[in-house]
Structure 1
Amino acid sequence: MAAALLHHHARGSVTVRSAGSAPADTINPAVRQVMAEIGIDLSREQPKLLTSDAVQACDVVISMGCGDACPIFPGKRYLDWQLPDPAGKSPDEIRPIRDDIDTRVRALLAELVPDPTV
């Protein structure tokens, strides 16, 4: 959700990568549903494994509780967003998670690119 929201709001002003330390085989259907409700289509997305190369290519790394499984490199900015896992939750339970992530993404984007339309 975070990568899709950042990609959506940034409109190409930042490069977004998404990966997980223990990715599922598919994106949770309820997550797809709540993202579609706000106009974000995840139908072509697939969970990806987090690699050291992906982390090295980033300036900012946002983790959501991956702990020691996330590679750490000097000079990178790391943010750990403690959020409930949407796995097994209903759309009604996921919407507040989505909205919390959206708020965090917008704040981060405002720091990274003060005017994302430029």
Structure 2
Amino acid sequence: MSEKSKPSVLFVCVHNAGRSQMAAAWLTHLAGDRVEVRSAGSAPADSVNSAAVEAMREVGIDMSAQTPKILTIDTVRASDVCVTMGCGDTCPVFPGKRYLDWKLDDPAGRGVDAVRPIRDEIERRVRGLLAELGVQDSMTADTM
């Protein structure tokens, strides 16, 4: 990542329907245009998990228009940080990239009540990532 460019983060899970979509939505919500945000899956689902969409809606984040996307080598190559969430060895590894593996429960097949704690843990981790990247979240920036 160069000094002049904004950091780029890629969130990857198998279906790109729950965890990675929520993480991308949180990062977009908190960082605005200060971080380039991507998400993808090694075997994308047909649609985003409806319980994940509802859980995010409860905190004021609308991700209903998002669609699962396929993970490509170019997507990984274009990202400074790759955060995997249960995709195993399917994420290509390139020298010079930062890789994080977040162990999170999969929201697939679960109701909103079960997805809320996953959503909240993802928010906590995304806020920590923002701090590590040296990017102030928009919630803090708006109060200054």
Query: Structure 2-normalised TM-score?
Result: 0.79
What is the count of residue pairs matched by the alignment?
118
Do structure 1's residue 79 and structure 2's residue 100 form an aligned pair? yes
Give structure 1 stretches of 5+ with no counterpart: none
Q: Which runs of 4+ in 1 moved over 2 A?
A: 113-117
2:82 to 57, 61, 64: 61
Amino acid at match of 1:54: T
Confirm whether residue 88 of structure 1 aligns to residue 88 of structure 2: no
**Which residue number corresponds to residue 121 of structure 2?**
100
2:81/2:98 contact within 8 Å kept:
yes
Q: Percent identity?
A: 61
* 1:112 and 2:112 correspond: no
Q: How far apart are the structure 2 equivalents of 1:115 and 1:28?
A: 29
Partners of 2:83 and 2:118 lie apart in 1 by 15
Let me know the Cα RMSD of the aligned residues: 1.3
Q: Are the aligned partners of 2:34 and 2:135 in contact in 1 as well (CA < 8 Å)?
A: no
CA contact (8 A) 1:60 1:79 kept: yes
Whole-angstrom distance in 1 between the partners of 2:71 and 2:111: 26
- Structure 2 equivalent of residue 47 of structure 1: 68
> In the alignment, does 2:38 pair up with 1:17?
yes
Question: C-alpha distance in 1, partners of 2:60/2:136?
Answer: 22
2:56 equivalent in structure 1: 35
Give the CA deviation at 1:77. 0.2
Q: Which amino acid aligns with 2:51?
A: A
Kept after mapping to 2: 8 A contact 1:13/1:113: no
C-alpha displacement of 1:114:
4.1
Look up the equivalent residue of 1:20 and give its one-letter code.
G
Alignment equivalent of 1:26, drawn from 47, 61, 82: 47
Gaps of 5+ in 2: 1-21
| Partner amino acid, structure 2, of 1:27 | V
Cα separation, 1, equivalents of 2:134 and 2:37: 13
